[in-house]
Structure formats: C-alpha cells, structure tokens
Structure 1
Amino acid sequence: MMRIAVDAMGGDNAPKAIIEGVVLAKKNFPDIEFQLYGKEAEIRKYLDDEKNVKIIHTDEKINSDDEPVKAIRRKKQASMVLAAQAVKDGEADAIFSAGNTGALLAAGLFIVGRIKGVERPGLMSTLPVMGKDQGFDMLDLGANADNKAEHLLQYGILGSFYAKNVRNITNPKVGLLNNGTEETKGSELTKKAFQLLSAEPSINFIGNVEARELLNGVADVVVTDGFTGNAVLKSIEGTALNLMALLKDAIKDSGTKGKMGAFFMKDSLYSLKDALDYSRYGGAVLFGLKAPVIKTHGATGPEAVANTIKQIHTMLETNVVGDLVTQFETGTIAPEVQSD
C-alpha cells in the first residue's frame, strides 16, 4: 500500500478542493492510503467514506503570508510540517501540498532532506506542448534564485532521469534555455553550463533552446536557473489565461453569428483550453530530495488535485526517487559541484 501525506489545509480552497480531489483519486487508486493532516471536522465534511483514509488532526497551519523558514521552525504542529515529518520518519512515502510554496520547499530541504550528491534540488513541472499529448519537463522553476553552472548540469541529469522513468521517454532531449541557439550565446552561467552539459555522457543534450520554441516541443527537458525558470513559467501561465479571456470577450462582442460559430466550435475551444492547462500533468516536483515532495497551485481545484495524486502514484510505482538516491549516493551519476 502506497502512503501519501496530504496537507489538507494548504491552498486557497482548502480543505474542500483538496479533499474532493482525494475522493476523485480514491476511485482510481485503491492501493493508496491517504493520510490527511488538518482539522478533522472540516476534513470529514467532504469525505464520502473513510476507506484507505487516515485523518491526523491539527489546528495549526502555515498561511500564505508566513515567512517560510520561520514558519517551518516555529509551527511544529502545522499540517504541512506534520506531513513532511511523516515522510522523514518513514510513516508516509510522499507529501503533497497546495500551500505556501516557500514553506514546502523549506520543509522538503530541512525535514525530508536532499539526496547526497545533489547540491540544489530543483522545482520541476511538466508543461504543455501544442498539438501533442507529451509535454516537456522544466527546472528550476523557482526553488533557487541563483545557480551555478554545475547546478544546471545536475538539473539536466535529474530532469532526464524523471522523463525516462516517469514519462517513459526512451532518450529524452535535454535543452538549455538561452537567448539564442548558438553555443557562444548567453551569459557566463549559460556558456559554462553549455560546456558541462555537452560533456555529460548520461544525457542527450541537444544544445541551447529559445523560449519561443518551448511550447513547440523543441526538447523533452529544459534546464535553466530558478529566477529565469519562474519568470518563464509565469509568462506561460499569464499568456494562457489572457488568450482564453480574449477569445471569450471576442465571442461575447461578435453578435449572433459569432456566438453561433462558437457554439459549433465549442469542442475545439475546450481542446485548446485543455492543451494550455499544465495542471493535467500533475504538480511541481521538488526533485532531488529523498522522497517525492509535490506542490500544486494554491487555487487548484479537485481535478488538478486528482491529477497530482496520479502523478505521485506513478512516481512511487516506478520508484523513481529510490533509484535516483541509489545512483547519486553510489556515485553512478553525481557530477561534482564546487563550493563557493
């Protein structure tokens, strides 16, 4: 039985959206025990039954405006902290939260712990590719504002490992996000990272890739520093939201003919919306830790929660983190990172 520790109180719509998502996932994954951390009475409101469910009551939670590291250290009984501690103690196999991102990163690093040999775990999401079911993995999306070239090399290795083992891509193409495809383009960071990635035999490095090509499927894995990755992610999110809003406004303003046309095109419009929705791939993984630590958007709904649980199930089923721990800690794949 797989065991997932769920921060039931994390997120804008908690615990309702979180528990309703768990209820959806329970139907498909009878081999998961859901450990729900939070206010017991609130959690029970949204459960259909308690089969394969364990509720761990706590009144304390980490708020969205809490300072992450202080919150983790001071709020020892917070739902997120207790869930992370369960993973550390071997009582759960993974942790999932829609709460404070910084706090979850801190809980992952300070409680769950990073894999020996991984200098900087990266936040990774699978993002959509237009016209294809297969998306691409991108990291770091904001776990680290500053990175060294050696970190980007490790992100290439981590992302490739995930794409192979979780997404079943045989020889994933790894690209380095840059302002041009030429080897000589970019900052000192990207130039050095290019050389390191080019020399790494365990990955299929295809060179520099530009941001405008990401949604065209130019690579299966894209690596960048956390500051840039977070900016790109939010640009993609904003573009998708604004595109759908513009289409909606255009239809409203187009009169009877436009509305009739939209009616006949509604299946295509829904397909476009689905194509731009990266939550269908699950949440963001803080990859490089000793166990799966997964984050979803604070405003997530039940379907996105269920998709994230499906993603965690695949990660546990394939033992991707366990295999990664073995390979890094035995030195099979562990490029040295020089200390400052």
Structure 2
Amino acid sequence: MPPKDPELNPASTPRTKPRRSKAVRRLVIWYRRNAAVTSLVGTATTSANAAGSMAGSVTSMAGSMLQPVMDPLRRLQGGVPGDDIEINDQDRIWVAVDGMGGDHAPGPILEGCLQAIERLAVRIRFVGETDRVLEAAAASGLSEALNAAMDAGHLELILSGPSVEMHEEATVVRRKRNASINVAMDLVKRGEAQAVYSAGNSGAVMASAIFRLGRLTGIDRPAIGALFPTKDPGQPVLVLDVGANMDCKPSYLHQFALLGNIYSRDVLQVAQPRIGLLNIGEEECKGNDLALSTFALLKEESRLHFAGNCEGRDVLSGDFDVVVCDGFTGNVLLKFLESVGSVLLGVLKAELPRGRRGKVGSAFLRSNLKRIKKRLDHAEHGGALLLGVNGICVIGHGSSKALSVVSALRLAHSAASHGVMEDLAALSQQTAVKA
C-alpha cells in the first residue's frame, strides 16, 4: 500500500510524476546533507593521484559501483576472476622457492606454494630446513595438502643448511654456502628450475643471484623492477630500479631502460613500451646531472621508444609502461606507494558521518573501498623482478604471506613462459658488441 500523504487530494489534477515514498525522500535528503562524503571521495582521489595514487575518479568510484576490477592474480594469464583454469601437468614448470626466506617463513611461504600449485601451471622445489618445514606444516594444518602435492609430483622438499636471517649482511651468502637461497639459486643454474623466488633478505638474494647465476654480459648492475598499478587495472607500469643500486651512473639507467623494455614487451605484452625517465619536470633541461646525462643517452637509443621525462605525478597515470630511476629514489617511491592504500581508506573511514546515517553511507561505499584496497595492496602484486642476472629471479616482500607468494609465483611463471631470458641474452650480446 502506498504511503499516506495529507497533501494528496484525489480530486486534484493528476501529477505528471509519481511522488516519492518517504524512505526515498529521506535517502535523498541524507545524501544532500552529507554531500561532503562524495566530495571527499573526489578530493581524496585527486590528492592521491597527485601523490601517485590510482584510486580513480569520483565517477568510477561512486558512480560505477558495480564495475568489476580485474584480479591482478589472473591478469598475466589473461583470465578473469571466477574462471576455473584446468592445468595440464605437462605444462607445469619447475620453480625453486627459498622456503626459509621472509619474516614469517616457512609456514606462509609453504601455504602460498600449495595454493599456487592449484592455480598455476607450476611445480615447486621447496628449499628449506626440512624439520622446520614439516613442523610449520603441522602447526598450520597443511600436512595433508603437502603430502598430496608431493604424492602428485607437484612439490619436492629440498634440504638446506642454516638460512640467511633478515638482519644479516648480504655477504653472509658466501659463508653460508648451503643456505636455502644459495641452494635455490643452484637449482636454476643447473637447469633444474626455470625461476627462483625468495622473500628473504633482499641484499642477500641479490648477492646470491650475482655469485651463483652471474650477470648478463654487458650489464653492469642488475636492477629490481616492481610492477605498480595504474589507472588502468589491466596494465601496470614497471618501475626500476627500486632498491638494488643506491648510487647510479647514466649508463646504469640506460641499461635499466633496455631491460625494462624487454620485460614489458615479452611478459606484459606491450607492443611498443613507452619508456620514461623519472625527473622533476617534463622539460629536457630539468633535473640533476644524472638525469640530464641519462636523458641524452635514452634520446639517442634506437632499441626502445623513449617517451621523455616522467614526473612523480605521472608514474601511475598510465602514460608510461616503464619508468627508470636510481635505486634510492625508486625504493622511496615503492615504500610510499605501499602506504597510500591504508592511508586513503583510513581518511575516508574517518570522514564518514557517525551514527546510523554513517552506517548507511558506509554500506553504499563498502564494495568500492574493498576494490580500491585490493588495487593498492602490494600483496596483490607479489614481488619484484631482479633483471640483469642470468636467470629469472623474483624477490618478495619480507612480510609476504600466502597471497603475496601466489602473486610472485605468477610473475615467475609468466617470465619463464615468455622467452624473456632468450631476449635478454640477445640484448646482452648487442650491448657487449657496442661497448
């Protein structure tokens, strides 16, 4: 029964528009009174974009509430959330995993590997101190899944010696020859695995990769490349270096650009990657000596498409596919990005009205906030690639848990499946000839 209205007279002229119910009118009034909520979304989004956020516009957030966001875990294989991918065992590739690396190892690392086996065409050679691994599996309720994976031939436990701790110096890998990271690298070197993953001490991982796998010919310094999300959820930007080389020469950044160009083209399937140089302005004359000298080198490089300087606000704009910088600047940028999601969501939650009306507004925005958090969460992007060594190496965050491990193994699988090493080897030969 429609609500009673004392002003509604049956004898009067019929209205051209039906009157809204009281519930609808109250909702409209509430939104008008709390317009600050929607304007806050726009303001926070604009500010975040200026700082490097990719939360999207007010329209995409508040107006298109039901628009799905592509799951980063499926993007690299071209799938969509909810699809069941049937995996042929013949297509599985071996990945060596440093099971003792990371703040929470080995339990969450093992859990992530078991999940990856169900979702990716991979087999895992899990390197670690066997007793600790089995104890962690029992404590986490993973023993049954572990035994099933081993019986199916999808996972092998490889014994290692004492691991490299997170607080130890990188050079300790020379003394701890049987450390899990060294054993995992040796598996790649001998061809018993096509890629290696570790969430351990990043300096030790890089040192082990250089000592065990070696650098590509013509590459002076390997670089850590991280995938940053952009406004387009299906197309990230590769930023390198994000921590391997604190002090760089122009020739290093030039090599980073060449390495990033190949990865973006082969793995991310970008036909002609747009290479940007991180700088304080778009003009060619801007920047310090490093930026000015690097600009000149990239401008003359015929093997890639140099799109010019990239300001900080443009890193996540989608206008560049690869952005190069020194490791100090890149690491600051990476750590800043990791904080954006939680800060943005915290601001939004703090500014929402209190009480019953606030709960109603929060209910309307909850799905959007969850999707934004998913896009900004570094765990969704797994790890960073160490480019420039003679093998595929993925470095995970020290705090990595199961989701991060799955994401990182997807990166490793994608790199190993697209012939990246063949193209990098060809690049190193060209670079050596030019030198």
Task: Name the TM tier (shorter chain).
Answer: over 0.9
Go from structure 1 to structure 2 and tell me whether the alpha carbon gap of 1:193 and 1:174 turns closer, same or farther (over 3 Å shift).
Answer: same
Query: Retained in 2: the 8 A contact 1:290–1:322?
Result: no
Go from structure 1 to structure 2 and tell me whether the alpha carbon gap of 1:145 and 1:60 turns closer, same or farther (over 3 Å shift).
Answer: same
Q: Larger strand proportion, structure 1 or 2?
A: 1
What are structure 1's unaligned runs of at least 5 residues?
none
Partner of 1:90: 191
Go from structure 1 to structure 2 and tell me whether the alpha carbon gap of 1:109 and 1:118 turns closer, same or farther (over 3 Å shift).
Answer: same
Separation of aligned partners in 2, 1:334 and 1:174: 22
Separation of aligned partners in 2, 1:334 and 1:152: 16
1:100 aligns with 2:204: no
Partner of 2:415: 315
Aligned to 1:68, the other structure's residue is in SS state coil
TM-score (norm 2): 0.73
Alignment of 1:33-182 (within 5 A): 33-44=123-134, 45=137, 46-47=142-143, 48=145, 49=148, 50=150, 51=152, 52-69=154-171, 71-182=172-283
Runs of 4+ residues over 4 Å off in structure 1: 333-337
Q: Which amino acid aligns with 1:309?
A: L
Pairing partner for 2:107 from 13, 16, 20: 16
Partner of 2:119: 28
Shift of 1:150: 1.0
1:192 aligns with 2:293: yes
Query: Retained in 1: the 8 A contact 2:394–2:411?
Result: no
Shift of 1:59: 4.7
Shift of 1:336: 5.2
* 1:26-45 Cα distance to aligned partner (Å, 9 max, x none): 01234x22111112234341
Partner of 1:291: 391
Q: After alignment, is 160-169 or 317-326 more displaced?
A: 317-326
Aligned to 1:231, the other structure's residue is in SS state helix
Q: Which amino acid aligns with 1:73?
A: R
Pairing partner for 2:406 from 303, 306, 310: 306
Q: After alignment, is 196-205 or 78-87 more displaced?
A: 78-87
Partner of 2:96: 5
Q: Which amino acid aligns with 1:60?
A: P
What are structure 2's unaligned runs of at least 5 residues?
1-91
Q: Which amino acid aligns with 2:163?
A: K
Separation of aligned partners in 2, 1:327 and 1:196: 17
Query: Retained in 1: the 8 A contact 2:341–2:372?
Result: no
Go from structure 1 to structure 2 and tell me whether the alpha carbon gap of 1:9 and 1:250 turns closer, same or farther (over 3 Å shift).
Answer: farther
Matched length: 332
**Greater Rg over alpha carbons, structure:** 2
Partner of 1:230: 331
Separation of aligned partners in 2, 1:73 and 1:216: 42
CA-atom RMSD in angstroms: 1.7
Query: Retained in 2: the 8 A contact 1:141–1:230?
Result: yes
1:328 aligns with 2:428: yes
